[in-house]
Amino acid sequence: MVGQQVSRLRRVALTGALTPVLILGAAGFGALPGGILPTDATAQSVIDGSACTAFGAPQAAPAKEMSVADVAEKASPTVVTVLNLQPLSQADLGGFSGIEGIPGMPQIPGSGQLPQGPNPGDNGSGTSGDSTNSDSLVPIGSGSGFIVDKDGHVITNAHVVAGAEKLSVTLLDGTEVPATLIGSDDLIDVAILKLDLPAGQSVPGVATFGDSSQLRPGDQIVAIGTALGEFPNTVSEGTVNATDRSFPSEGGLTDWIQHDAEIWHGNSGGPLLNLRGEVVGVNTAGIGSSMMGSDTGAADMSFAVEGNTVCQAAADLLANGKIDWPYLGIQGEATSDGQSVVEVVQDGPSAKAGIEPGDVITGLDGQDITRQKSLIDLLFEHKPGDTVSITAERDGTPQTFQVTLGDRPETAD
């Protein structure tokens, strides 16, 4: 199949001897020069982080843990392949590496870019009946997703569906059905779709969310997704390496699950499951230790957005089509003491409160910023319109600022 770019690629500069490659993509969390993270853009106060019951409550009495094979058998009917279709005239035939916007980053050979030579859509002979039509829709990427209710709603990553003119979803038995995008949020890389099922056709299965806050390092987990965009319902197993990880670097979101279940391009948007067959995360990113991790592009270290956050975010998108984020109007860089203010948006909430570049924010509403509790995490507890007390140091002198949080502009990075 043409252009089965499994997900967006991001090369990130992390500390250490390796130059890792983020092989699954994490829209909205790309590396910025100097390690600056868009703290105003990623705060998600509407997500309360508790067990989500929007798509069905976790079992009151947890079922007995199952074997990996039984988990796969239970969950596989709910897992789908999501195909992103865009006009040929808009497709990047020169190679879609997903590292656009990061100065100095080269194209990555073998990254799943649209093939050169024969036109996209050819039949193997180098010819195609519609490949010369610049308005023809071609599959520029594919990822995974999972069905969350009997109405046919599917959760996936936002980067899997970004820019799509049409969406097609392939079910476990190979049936292809069109889908409609209901809502998408790049900041936590979550999207929700609606399957356009023929009258009388029911979904093959419905996934159940578990309580991801109960995960512990060492717990066994299972990942299912469309490996390399070609092999649907590929199953891998592993353990939770850590929870509440900040990713891609210190100072960012701390609701990532780090695990070692093998994942590949194409697993983006697929479920991470506990041994009760419940969704506890959505696989979104993987880091390889070489340009592609291995010859097959598998990740050496994998990351999933924790399930409680995804569940609530998808419910908000289903209800409103968007998520309203609080806005500080700054960019900050994590330090050992807190969050150093690098930029302040003119006429933004922080600027109006008197915060200046060079200030080091150390707390919010009496809570200290730590490696376990970032400034972004503290913002999660608020919503636009709330007034918060920001503590900061300016030239070594403690300062307090009253900031009324704004609504994040749609144009904010």
189 noted as active-site residue: yes
As a whole number of angstroms, the distance between CA 151 and CA 172 comes to 17
The pLDDT value recorded for residue 297 is: 63
With tokens 């093939």, the residue in question is: 115
- DSSP letters spanning 59-70: PSSPPPP--HHH
Active-site option among 189, 211, 255, 359: 189
Average pLDDT value for residue range 86-106: 46
Homologous superfamily (CATH) of 326-407 is PDZ domain (2.30.42.10)
294 noted as active-site residue: no
As a whole number of angstroms, the distance between CA 97 and CA 106 comes to 9
Average pLDDT value for residue range 242-248: 79
The pLDDT value recorded for residue 401 is: 96
pLDDT tens, 154-171? 999 999 999 999 999 999
In the chain, where does the domain assigned CATH 2.30.42.10 lie?
Answer: 326-407
The pLDDT value recorded for residue 42 is: 35
In the chain, where does the domain assigned CATH 2.40.10.120 lie?
Answer: 1-31+47-321
What number does CATH give the domain 1-31+47-321?
2.40.10.120
Question: Does 298 or 160 have the greater pLDDT score?
Answer: 160
Q: Say whether pLDDT at 289 is over 50.
A: yes
Alpha helices in 287-362 (DSSP H): 307-320, 349-353
Average pLDDT value for residue range 272-277: 96
Query: Burial, 413: exposed, middle or buried (Cβ in 10 Å; 0-12, 13-18, 19+)?
Result: exposed
Give the DSSP H/E element, type plus range, for residue 74: helix 68-75
Active-site option among 268, 302, 350, 374: 268
As a whole number of angstroms, the distance between CA 141 and CA 154 comes to 17
386 noted as active-site residue: no
Active-site option among 153, 159, 259, 265: 159
Q: Say whether pLDDT at 247 is over 60.
A: yes
Q: Token digits for 360?
A: 């080091």
Residue 92: pLDDT band with limits 50, 70, 90: low
- Secondary structure class of 88 (helix, strand, coil): coil
Average pLDDT value for residue range 133-152: 87
Question: Does 169 or 104 have the greater pLDDT score?
Answer: 169
pLDDT tens, 115-139? 333 333 333 333 334 444 556 888 8
- DSSP letters spanning 195-245: E-PPTTPPPS----B--GGG--TT-EEEEEEEETTTEEEEEEEEEEEEEEE
Residue 223 near residue 235 (C-beta atoms within 8 A): yes
